[in-house]
Structure 1
Amino acid sequence: MPRRTATMLASTLMLIALLCAGVFINVPYSEMSPGPTVNTLGEHDGEPVLRITGRKTYPTSGHLNMTTVRVTSADYNMNLVEAVYGWLAHDNKVVPHDTLYPDGKTEEQSTQENAEEFSQSQESAKVAALKEVGIPVKSWVIVSTVVKDTPAEGRLHAGDVIKAVDGTQVKAFGDVAKLVTKHKAGEKVVFTIVPAKEQAAALKEKKTATRTEEITLTTAKSHDSGEDRAIVGIEAGTDHSFPFTIDIKLADVGGPSAGLMFALGIVDKLTPGTLTGGKFVAGTGTITDEGKVGPIGGIEMKTVGARAKGAQYFLTPKDNCAAAARDIPDGLTLVKVDTIDDAVGALKDIRAGDTDDLPKCA
């Protein structure tokens, strides 16, 4: 056999051997890719994404699309060939497995966490939207979760309304931790609460619960990775009472990143005229009750997915702008927003065609 033929044959066999080996070699990576994008003004699986009852609504047009990212599951074992292909693919991103599933988080745990974040983002979107259009929302601080084997277990319950700590009125959920950590571990702290059952009964009858209870707890020392401090073993949150019903229906989606687009969809339905002027606008971003827009993960995947569906403009959280601007899909304008106010203002300019002065990601 000629030497050149032998060399080519050996090289080919070696390449085949490497490819075969690559298929069986698992690597600790996961993959992200563009996911579905859904118009919050329209329908999904035959159901309106946003349904408002008990309040006058107005016709809408155009698109206010929320965007998503597909990720490989927690138990998916990526092989070397798939990792290399993902690194080379323009629209995909290969990241360390621990980036998506830290601390050995299982698929079930991740799904549960995403569902909780999605639910919370819906509530915050409603609050931010109603505040944006000047509709008052009643809010109060609650016990969100109780940690097992802590002083609060069996004494405080999820849904209890926290009126005061040590006699000091609680106005925001962040006040609870500040007041508890004034103590040293082993000291007494007094919670003034409205029990969850009484609060639920009062809301059902559209009344205000007035009877309170005082619960005295002995603080314990924290055992997490943070600074040593006194704790009682609860996570405080905020609950709301809305003057009418806002239903958000979107299955198989998790995480908090659709908050901004849900809020804008609600604003559009509650106000005369259309926010988009018929334009195709997509976007992403978490949102707080106060309307602050926060950054999200997978921004590059979301811009690609949005443009593939026809988006002309993409509302981008300010803190995601630098990453998003590294590779902007052709024909897509990235608009920088930091609050829901910014987003509504940008949509006004887009609707009017005054786009030269839009705050763009660069």
Structure 2
Amino acid sequence: MTQPPAPGQPGPSEPQQTVDERPTAVVAPPSPRSVTLSLGMLATAVLVAVLAFLPVPYVVNSPGPTRNTLGELDGSPLISISGATTYPTTGKLLLTTASVQGGPGYPVDVFHVIEGWFSSGSTVQPVETVYPTGATSAEVAKAGEQQMASSQENATVAALTQLGYTVPATLTIAGDAAGTGASGVVEKGDVITSFDGKAVVSYQDLVDDLKATTPGDTVTLGVKRNGSPLDLSVVTGTKKSGGAQLGVLIDPTFTLPVDVKIKINDIGGPSAGMMFALGIIDKLTPADDAKGDVIAGTGTIDIDGTVGPIGDIRQKFHGALRDGATWFLAPASNCADVIGAVPAGLHVVKVSTLREAENAVQTIAAGKGATLPTCTAADVS
């Protein structure tokens, strides 16, 4: 017996059907214009992607790392001293650096250049304004290493001399400046032994003798030439900064009374010289010069303690502020670069000599930093 179907259900003879009530979409074929536009956009996107990763002839300078010259690096003192008593220090004297992207062997891409343009702490420059044309990465690295080694030696001699040590030196003449009184009188390889009859034992002796000389005076320069003593008459000239000069290039060899070793990695150039010298002085001074403060700075250092100009000071300001410094010692000769470039929260003190820099550190530690000179419009007028 067949049971009748339930209401609303198909009977045995009624086929079941599935009904799709969605309308069927009708897709029009793409027009030639839209095809052309799509292909053009795709080609442009591919081209932009390729160009973005191609090297461009620019250099991007950004804030680099800082190093505390009173602290440690990889578990060892950055500055280690033997042969003299050293004293505890509580502050930080930060040497500052700039990180360089671009140049020989390290090309930079468009993305990094654009990022540098929009960063207040970075600058973008054509590569030819930073590196000599045709220089290789190995040549650039070697030059930086040589400058760093020279700055460490200069810093050590300048610091020890300022602390009252006599630093004996052999002063060998490496050449003379054309048009000066020394031209044609001295010879390459001459070793300076005396100045107007007084023995020249150290580089500082020669500096002091010249300070006491009026430009244009004729002096008697005692030298050893091929091992034999010889007196030479030299008419002194005038330095650009004032004072008398001999007109000779000197290649000094020092005999250090104190053994100073500076450990620094992956940093080249001469701009850390002043901060190295301040670190040496603080370690060899009973008084705690920095006295807990974080003081950053930059500047080359000459053997006689003169602080010279450097590059990339804007980047070094930002690196110092990032790493906790509120005070920054800058070369007075960089004042044109300082004005308008100091970030909020950082106070800049201008210095011209190592003695001025040491006095600035002590004054800041005493809470009187506001009395120190800074760069003004008068310095660049």
Structure 2-normalised TM-score?
0.68
Structure in which a larger fraction of residues adopt helix: 1
What count of residue pairs does the alignment treat as equivalent? 298
**Where does residue 75 of structure 1 map in the other structure?**
105
Give the equivalent residue in structure 1 for 2:134. 104
AA in 2 matched with 1:132 = Q
CA displacement at 1:235 relative to structure 2: 6.9
Aligned partner of 2:269 in structure 1 is: 255
Q: Judging changes above 3 Å, is the alpha-carbon distance between structure 1 residues 236 and 341 closer, same or farther for their aligned structure 2 residues?
A: closer
Matched, 1:92 2:106: no
Shift of 1:91: 2.5
Separation in 2, partners of 1:272, 1:143: 38
Q: What secondary structure does 2:374 align onto?
A: coil
Matches within 5 A, 1:152-167: 161=191
Aligned residue in 2 for 1:320: 334
Q: Deviating runs (4+, > 4 A) in structure 1?
A: 8-15, 160-164, 169-173
Matched residue of 2:338: which SS?
helix
Match of 1:287 in 2: 301
**1:357 and 2:368 equivalent?**
no
What is the CA-CA distance between 1:97 and the residue it aligns to?
A: 1.0
Do the aligned partners of 1:141 and 1:161 also contact (CA within 8 Å) in 2? yes
Q: Which residue of 1 aligns with 2:75?
A: 46
Residue of structure 1 equivalent to 2:21: none
Residue identity in the other structure for 1:125: A
**Residue 348 of structure 1: aligned partner:** 362
Aligned counterpart in structure 1 of residue 320 of structure 2, from 306, 309, 312: 306
| TM-aligned CA deviation for residue 25 of structure 1 | 4.8
Identity, in percent, stands at: 40
Task: Specify every segment of 5 or more residues in structure 2 that has no aligned partner in the other structure, as ranges.
Answer: 1-29, 176-187, 208-222, 230-247, 377-381
Kept after mapping to 1: 8 A contact 2:147/2:270:
yes
How well do the aligned residues superpose, as a CA RMSD in angstroms? 3.4
Q: Is contact 1:36–1:305 with CA below 8 Å preserved after alignment?
A: yes
The equivalent of 1:135 in structure 2 is: 165
CA distance in 1, matches of 2:228, 2:142: 32
Name the structure 1 match of 2:344: 330
Match of 2:20 in 1: none
Q: Secondary structure at the match of 2:140?
A: helix
Where 1:64 maps in the other structure, the secondary structure is strand
Matched with 1:126 is 156
The code of the aligned residue for 2:306 comes to K
The Cα of 1:16 is off from its aligned counterpart by 3.0
Instruction: Give the equivalent residue in structure 2 for 1:271.
Output: 285
Distance 1:310 1:144, change over 3 A: farther
CA distance in 2, matches of 1:86, 1:108: 25
Tell me the distance in 2 between the aligned counterparts of 1:357 and 1:124: 29
TM-aligned CA deviation for residue 349 of structure 1: 1.5
State whether structure 2 residue 62 is matched by structure 1 residue 33: yes
SS in 1 for 2:171: strand
Please list every run of 5 or more consecutive structure 1 residues that lacks an aligned counterpart in the other structure.
Answer: 146-155, 174-190, 195-211, 215-233
Distance 1:304 1:54 in 2: 37
Is the CA contact 1:31–1:94 (under 8 Å) kept in the aligned structure 2?
yes
CA change 1:15–1:326 in 2 (3 A) is farther
In structure 2, the CA distance between the partners of 1:53 and 1:193, relative to structure 1 (3 Å rule), is farther
Distance 1:353 1:87 in 2: 38
* SS of 2:169 mapped into structure 1: strand
Closer, same or farther: CA 13–333 of 1 in aligned 2, 3 Å: farther
Amino acid at match of 1:120: S
